[in-house]
Amino acid sequence: MEISQNIELKQFTAGLRSGFPIFLGYLPVGLAFGILACDYGFTPLQAILASAFALSGVGQFVALTTLVLSESIVASVLASTIVNLRYILFSASLSPHLQGLKYRTLAWIGFTTTDESFAINSAEIRELRASPSSIIGVGTVGWLGWVLGTTGGTIGAQFLGDLSAFGIYFAMPAMYAALFIALASNRKQIYCGIGAGIIVLILYGLNLLGLGLETYWFTVITAIVAASLAVWIFPKEKNAKKGTDTPGNDVCGKVAKSTVEDDVQ
């Protein structure tokens, strides 16, 4: 099957729609970044460009704090990169479903990959609803939310009062919870997800005992350990036909078939 290299409007719009929770979740956090950046001496334009170019929630906050503390460009860029190392895992994990796309399509998909867009796209791939166009839509709506939120923050969030009273900062964890269920397609996946939660608690416990690990390392370490344990504990089943797992010339949606077969057992 030939992949359409053009953006299909219908699927793109579907992507915008499924990415809408990301938009909502990013507004308040982007707002907070806008306020903080201006406090730290960014002009509104600089704050907005930082968000538009980096699109990395925690990474940007860490960069900002490091810049103020150290005045060193290298230190702050490095700090934000370390926080964002998990993007390597996200991109790698999406890549089997994006075989054969043009580099400029991949560039935009990569550019807009975040925890949230990764999660929504993974869930949609699993439910056979994803296509390159919908993935682009999900990334785009998230990017818009982040940039608009930051813009709002730079033009005075004092009018909005204390948003935390409305629990709006819980939008992201709530979305992760919904996504967890969307991804929990079989027992092995569920155990892996719960295992990851337990590993986080273990790391927290080790920190209490004096390990001194920054929290932003938790996701990377946990994801690597949990996925490795899952591969090690759950061997490949016999009925997984040879070839179903190889990406070949898979398109989004089509490739997820192998995952579904995997789930039936």
Partner 1 sequence: MELTSQFAIWGLIAGMLVLNFALRFIPLAVLSRISIPEPLMRWLSYMPIAVMGALIATEVLLPALDTFFNEVRIYQEALPYAECGSTTPVPYPIFFMPLPGILGVIAAMVTYRYTKSFIGGTLAGVVVFALLQLLVGA
Sign of CA dihedral 236, 237, 238, 244: negative
For residue 67, the minimal CB distance to partner 1 (Å) is 5
Q: What angle do CA 141, 105, 124 make, to 5 degrees?
A: 55
Return the number of the residue (2 or 71) whose C-beta is nearest partner 1: 71
- DSSP annotation string for 74-123: HHHHHHHHHHTTHHHHHHHHHGGGGTT--HHHHHHHHHT--HHHHHHHHH
Compute the distance between CA of residue 55 and CA of residue 93 in angstroms, rounded to an integer: 19
Q: What angle do CA 83, 87, 54 make, to 5 degrees?
A: 70
For residue 236, what is the DSSP state?
A: P
For residue 5, the minimal CB distance to partner 1 (Å) is 13
Return the number of the residue (7 or 183) whose C-beta is nearest partner 1: 183
For residue 218, what is the DSSP state?
A: H
Return the number of the residue (13 or 215) whose C-beta is nearest partner 1: 215
Compute the distance between CA of residue 68 and CA of residue 215 in angstroms, rounded to an integer: 20
Return the number of the residue (155 or 228) whose C-beta is nearest partner 1: 228
For residue 236, the minimal CB distance to partner 1 (Å) is 7
Give yes or no for a contact between 74 and 180, defined as CB atoms under 8 angstroms apart: no
For residue 152, the minimal CB distance to partner 1 (Å) is 19
Return the number of the residue (9 or 178) whose C-beta is nearest partner 1: 178
For residue 79, the minimal CB distance to partner 1 (Å) is 10
Compute the distance between CA of residue 40 and CA of residue 10 in angstroms, rounded to an integer: 42
For residue 159, the minimal CB distance to partner 1 (Å) is 20
Return the number of the residue (19 or 152) whose C-beta is nearest partner 1: 19
